Structure 1
Amino acid sequence: MSTGERELRAWAYLTAVAEPPCAPLIDLVRRHGAEETARMIKARALPADGAAVATATEARHRVDTAARDLETAAAVGARLVTRDDAEWPAWSLLALDQASTAVRGGAPLALWVRGPHPLVEVTESAVGVVGSRAATSYGEHVAGRMGSGLAGAGWTVVSGGAYGIDGCAHRGALAAGGLTMAVLACGIDRDYPTGHAKLLAEIGRRGVVVTEYAPGTTAAKHRFLTRNRLVAALSNALVVVEAGRRSGAANTAAWARHLGRPLGAVPGPVTSAMSVGCHQMIADGEATLVADEVAARALVDVDGRDRRRQSPSRSTDGLSPEQFQVVEALPASGGLSVDEVAFVSGLPVDRVRPALAMLEVKGLVETSGGVWSLGGRR
């Protein structure tokens, strides 16, 4: 067995040996590496400060299904992504690393991933869309339109793969030809709910399916609550379409607030029990009122950029704020002196001069006889 294979098996063993999240286990891996940590757990030869790990792994440490789990994952086109891999979404999960373990926080040890796209790229521009499983026709319509609009603008739509709002958001994203990510509360080889088997297969083929649970792990209520923190963490912002006063969506929203993610909520009919949670979040100032995908994007992308654009579409894109102020101060025809540019822009002369110099290099302004005017590339 190669060194790389031994290392991967150690990671696979560790994903199953303790119920996630387990911050003490992650800390031990950071200090000793995956292989050594796995050896210590199996041999019950943990360091003096390893009592928490010993307790967390007591029930499962004798069972090593790593080889079988990796084979099972490979059979469904999945892979194990660890903290050592280039596609690990470290930035997205940083807030979870710092979260309080008292509320079942902490980042995942590793992630089982199904799909052709690198996880770190998929999470760079992502918006979570969640809501009630018992969705109304209104909520389903809004979620589908939200998913389609966000994906069409280049955003990854993150949700939990459940019935109701989640499924509609995923389908909307797929219909738009965009990316969507389903975060599961079970093993990567399980389709839960079973009625979404085809949907999850399509997400795995065109987007990403992700879970922290080892293959074979069944869905359970506590795992859904734990999963919700990943939906919030892997999203740049979260939108709740429909939610009862107490619901899984409300729990995900609480995680978004805990992690500092922008939170939006869609208003609904005042007579709808499925919108009570959203109305409460808006009334309490916890969530911004979101009526469409444009407002959802504005939660995190205030300038309304379309994420499908890979290069600047205007000559002024990419300018510093001061350079933009200066170029905007110049008239469409004619020119101004440096002092006049300073007056119009409201910037000091000693900051206008270097801004003009850089703008001249970019071809956006030109000067003649001490008078500055817009250049040919404007």
Structure 2
Amino acid sequence: MPGRHSLRFDSADETLARAAWSRLAEPGDVKVASLLAEVGPTEALRALVTRDVDWMQRYLTRLPELDPPRDLRALASLGGRVLVPGDAEWPTGLNQLAAPPPCLWVRGPVELADLARRSVSVVGARASTAYGEHVAGELSSGLAGRGFAVVSGLAYGIDGTAHRAALGSGTSVAVVAGGVDRAYPRGHDALMAELVRSGAVVSEVPPGSAPTRSRFLQRNRLIAAMTSGTVVVEAAVRSGALSTARAAATLGRPVGAVPGPVTSSSSAGCHALVREGRAVLVTDAAEVADLVGRIGADAVDPPRGGAGPFDGLDDVTLRVVDALPVRTGRPLDRLCVASGLEPATVQVALGRLALLGLAERHAHGWRRVPAGRRPPA
């Protein structure tokens, strides 16, 4: 009923009001996000407790236990901080979402605003293979060494591998589905502690919040929006990592996918992203940096095979090379027939090839210099 509810804190304080909404509403709530954008968090709370609005009734069930000052004290005891839109550290990429979080609960020294400038989310399967973990480790280490922050979700498999490899060479940030006060899975307690020491752990729900299936999916949109681009290392066709990639593509972020064996179901999702045109195929850190980094500064040369002994020769000289036998010498007149060139042109080409150490006189004609005696390419 309208007027029956009251708040036990100063709702005029924007940080408290936003902290309240992060507990009242589930992540990704478009209606609440629209209301906060339209009237602000304080006025939205006032409407909740004083007006009888049908669609807002669902939030009243959490109102009796609402205590944002307690949540802020819990975070402060962990050495954390709350970020709200407009703060210097607020990741501005989040503002592109249909439902940006009311606030962020953060632990760790890394400045989140820096993520928009140089970061990559590396995501993939929990049930990863040895191949996937090897690639994820190489990619993440190489990207961190190039100054990219590696962002992932602290899960088992590809996520955990990416975090560990990045921390060994640079910076890593975890975006979690539950509160920043406890690791999920619990087997990542030590990894979370290391991220808090030298990276960051981020959530859009208050301390003490449980990770739920829907919160995991909504967490993925934050990973996509906070970073410069996303790479999927290994993912089955129903992997949650694909939601991160699709969210990134929707936001206009570059997406990379690592190929795997065509017989591996663990890579089928990566192959689907490439086939759908949502992702670019990438195989190493240099290619990922080229995809998501600064134009020019992070460009990578296209892969080339090893240099050959006849690379750089003009078309006419190559025709003479093709006419030269490998074992015995061939007379000038026969070289002219084989190459389709006049004698003077063939003689000029033979002189050049001799100077380069690629052709030599033999018996009554010319042949190629045996491979073992050619100068290095």
TM-score (norm 2): 0.72
Q: 1:150: which partner in 2? A: 143
Unaligned runs of 5+ in 1: 98-105, 308-378
Q: 2:111: which partner in 1? A: 118
Q: 1:57: which partner in 2? A: 59
Taking the aligned partners of 1:29 and 1:280, their CA distance within structure 2 comes to: 37
Taking the aligned partners of 1:8 and 1:199, their CA distance within structure 2 comes to: 29
Can you list the C-alpha shifts for 1:285-315, whole angstroms capped at 9, x where unaligned?
22111000111111122645269xxxxxxxx
Cα displacement (A) at 1:4? 11
The answer on whether the counterparts of 1:264 and 1:288 sit within 8 Å (CA) in structure 2 is yes
Q: Secondary structure at the match of 2:231?
A: strand
- The answer as to 2:80 corresponding to 1:73 is no
Cα displacement (A) at 1:252? 1.4
- The answer as to 2:253 corresponding to 1:271 is no
Q: 1:343: which partner in 2? A: none
Unaligned runs of 5+ in 2: 1-7, 300-377
The answer on whether the counterparts of 1:297 and 1:304 sit within 8 Å (CA) in structure 2 is no
Taking the aligned partners of 2:234 and 2:274, their CA distance within structure 1 comes to: 12
For 2:203, give the aligned amino acid: T
Cα displacement (A) at 1:122? 3.0
Q: 2:164: which partner in 1? A: 171
Cα displacement (A) at 1:55? 3.7
Can you list the C-alpha shifts for 1:167-214, whole angstroms capped at 9, x where unaligned?
1111111000x1111010001112111111111111111111111011
Cα displacement (A) at 1:35? 3.1
Cα displacement (A) at 1:6? 3.7
Q: 1:284: which partner in 2? A: 276
Taking the aligned partners of 1:221 and 1:285, their CA distance within structure 2 comes to: 28
The answer on whether the counterparts of 2:115 and 2:228 sit within 8 Å (CA) in structure 1 is no
Cα displacement (A) at 1:123? 3.1
Q: 2:126: which partner in 1? A: 133
For 1:25, give the aligned amino acid: V
Q: 1:162: which partner in 2? A: 155
Q: 1:34: which partner in 2? A: 41
Residues 301 and 122 of structure 1: CA distance in aligned 2, closer, same or farther (over 3 Å): closer
Cα displacement (A) at 1:44? 3.4
The answer on whether the counterparts of 2:19 and 2:102 sit within 8 Å (CA) in structure 1 is no
The answer on whether the counterparts of 1:159 and 1:231 sit within 8 Å (CA) in structure 2 is yes
> Greater CA radius of gyration, 1 or 2?
2
Taking the aligned partners of 1:298 and 1:55, their CA distance within structure 2 comes to: 49
Residues 214 and 2 of structure 1: CA distance in aligned 2, closer, same or farther (over 3 Å): closer
For 1:14, give the aligned amino acid: W
- The answer as to 2:95 corresponding to 1:94 is yes
Q: State the identity %.
A: 46
Taking the aligned partners of 1:302 and 1:31, their CA distance within structure 2 comes to: 35
Matches within 5 A, 1:314-333: none
The answer on whether the counterparts of 1:123 and 1:156 sit within 8 Å (CA) in structure 2 is no
TM-score (norm 1): 0.72
Taking the aligned partners of 2:224 and 2:295, their CA distance within structure 1 comes to: 22
The answer on whether the counterparts of 1:290 and 1:296 sit within 8 Å (CA) in structure 2 is yes
Matches within 5 A, 1:292-303: 292-301=284-293, 303=295
Can you list the C-alpha shifts for 1:36-80, whole angstroms capped at 9, x where unaligned?
333332x2337xxx654x144132123222121111111222111
The answer on whether the counterparts of 1:294 and 1:304 sit within 8 Å (CA) in structure 2 is no
Residues 301 and 8 of structure 1: CA distance in aligned 2, closer, same or farther (over 3 Å): closer
Q: 1:214: which partner in 2? A: 206
The answer on whether the counterparts of 1:232 and 1:256 sit within 8 Å (CA) in structure 2 is yes
Matches within 5 A, 1:217-228: 217-228=209-220
Q: Secondary structure at the match of 2:61?
A: coil
Q: Secondary structure at the match of 2:101?
A: coil
Cα displacement (A) at 1:5? 9.3
Q: Which runs of 4+ in 1 moved over 4 A?
A: 1-5
Taking the aligned partners of 1:169 and 1:72, their CA distance within structure 2 comes to: 29
Taking the aligned partners of 2:38 and 2:71, their CA distance within structure 1 comes to: 25
Can you list the C-alpha shifts for 1:268-292, whole angstroms capped at 9, x where unaligned?
1222221111122223322111000
Q: Secondary structure at the match of 1:157?
A: strand
The number of residues matched between the two structures is: 292
Cα displacement (A) at 1:124? 2.1
